[in-house]
A and B are shown apart, each in its own frame.
Chain A
Amino acid sequence: MGISERIYSIPLKHIRISECNARLTDKKIGIEELAQSIKRHGLLQPVTLRGSYGNPPYELIVGQRRYHAHRLIPKSTIEAVFCGDINDWEAKILSLTENMHRVELNHADKAEAITALYLHYNRNDRRVSRELDIPLRTVRDYIKIEEQATAKAKRLLREGRIRKADVKRVIDAAQGDTNKADRLLDKMPYLSKYEKSRAVRYSQSHPKASFEEIIEVSQKQVIETTIILSLPKEIVIALNKAAYKLSMDRESVARKALSDWLENKGFLKGQI
């Protein structure tokens, strides 16, 4: 099974997908993103066709998603190499091998690559997001973990034993204390989301709190009180208007207005 070294530009209309192609499901997942990437950077790897150049139609053995992305752009040709006249089994093996070996990059690899690019672009995360076509928030998450997570957190992530969201919570809760961070890593997956939020909130307002204290507080239920008020019609209308304009719910607007007034009058110290 020798693959030709020469790359040819083949019209898409001369290509049909081989029944030997290993990718049977998820054929079109992420095709739009792939098409965007091809538009921006070009095709990085040619597709593989059965047979030899000059005898269309050609059978597509490897690169089904790249082929669909080209059709979506739309492009009329695609770069391809030829694997010669192989039989169906050989074609199946070739397709399978390519898909089996091209495993998804794990979290650590992605984080390392994204952070390297971020440093290369003088810490410009927006540029990284633009170049890689991934959301800015995702880029920031990877950088945060790469730069601030402990070695243990990175190992657990690599092994799939902790979620990215929990590592971020631990970073926020530990406030730079690596010992505390490593202990929180062991506990975090067993807390409910409500407890996790309380652990982070408490740690941020009490940076010197010990691990035991954080866990104890996180497991205590908080009573959230809503006072039922009677408001004049004009205030209700104004509240609705503010909620609409600021894209907030009425309760949040009322809370903000009340806390601002209390702070201005000196009854409340610090933000809530």
Chain B
Amino acid sequence: MNRKEDQENIIARLIANTRRKKRPDNLIEIARDIRRLENNLGSLKTVSETIGIVPDMLRQFLSVERLCPEVERLVKERKIDLVNIVHYMRNFEPQAQRLIAREVIAGRLSANDIRVLAPLQKSLPHLSIDKLISRVQKSRDIKVYVAYFLVPLRSKNTGALKRRFEKIVGKAEIVSFTVKGQLGTLKLTPVGQKKLREVAKKHNLSLRKFVDMIVLK
């Protein structure tokens, strides 16, 4: 393949990877393509003009170059796949990056939380990174997703109903499950809501309708 064809392929790949919600490639491959195109075209500014992405956004993609090898591997495996998460992680020490990555994968730390971590670390340099992480986790607002549902008159075993939800989202992701009279209330953590939504999608149902389906099963 000649140089021109190669360059055109890189441009096509970069456009596909930066304009779509579902990127075909991982962030490491995207950063590598940006660098190759930068070498061919001479500057990041020219890359930006060629693919129509502002230079700041390109720099965010290049943040993967500042990750420690272990975290880089997680990005390669697409366990961490959000560009803003990688961007906010770049300035932390390798040990801190590893801890943050673990929390991100477990769904306990969001991009916003990592953004909050950096200035806090500057103000509280004596605190270890795990204490800072826990400080941020304990300070953020708690998000709870609530689904109300009608329990059929014939259904008396609410324990079995609760177990059906636990089987799908996991026990830890149910904040509370109550049934008063015919009205049931299911409260989920954001992770629980996400899991339930994914399963609902597989059944080709909206989240709300999927809850009803489980209740009526």
Contacts and interface: CB of A to CB of B under 8 A. Distances in A.
Interface of A: 163, 189-195, 219, 221-231
Contacts of B161: none
Nearest to B142: A223
Count chain B CB atoms within 10 A of each CB in A163, A193, A195 and give the residue with the most: A193
Contacts of A221: 138-142
A189 B121 CA distance: 10
Interface in B87-132: 115-116, 119-120, 123-124
23 contacts: A163-B119, A189-B123, A190-B124, A192-B120, A192-B139, A193-B120, A194-B136, A221-B142, A222-B142, A223-B142, A223-B144, A224-B141, A224-B142, A224-B144, A225-B145, A226-B143, A227-B145, A228-B145, A228-B147, A228-B193, A229-B208, A230-B212, A231-B208
B207 interface: yes
B139 A226 contact: no
A225 B139 contact: no
Contact of A228 (B116, B142, B146): B146
Contact of B208 (A189, A219, A224, A230): A230
Given A193-B115, A230-B206, 9 more contacts: A191-B139, A194-B136, A194-B140, A221-B142, A224-B142, A224-B144, A227-B146, A227-B148, A228-B146
Contacts of A192: 116, 120, 135-136, 139-140
Contacts of A225: 144-146
Nearest 10 pairs of A and B residues by beta carbon = A230-B208, A192-B139, A189-B123, A193-B116, A228-B147, A222-B141, A194-B140, A223-B142, A194-B139, A224-B141
A226 B208 CA distance: 12
Contacts of B206: 230
B76 to A, nearest CB: 30
Interface of B: 115-116, 119-120, 123-124, 135-136, 138-148, 193, 206-209, 211-212
Contacts of A195: 139
Count chain A CB atoms within 10 A of each CB in B116, B119, B147, B193 and give the residue with the most: B119
A229 to B, nearest CB: 6
B207 A228 contact: yes
A10 B120 CA distance: 52
A212 B138 CA distance: 20
A26 to B, nearest CB: 15
A183 to B, nearest CB: 16
A195 B136 CA distance: 9
Nearest to A195: B139
Given A189-B123, A230-B209, A194 B141 contact: yes
A228 to B, nearest CB: 4
Contacts of A194: 116, 136, 139-141
A210 to B, nearest CB: 21
A42 B211 CA distance: 68
A229 B209 CA distance: 9
A163 B119 CA distance: 10
Contacts of B120: 190, 192-193
B119 A193 contact: yes
A192 B143 CA distance: 17
Contacts of B208: 228-231
A230 B142 CA distance: 23
Nearest to B148: A227
A175 B209 CA distance: 47
Given A163-B119, A189-B123, A224 B143 contact: yes
Nearest to B209: A230
A200 B199 CA distance: 39
B117 to A, nearest CB: 8
A81 to B, nearest CB: 32
Contacts of B211: 228
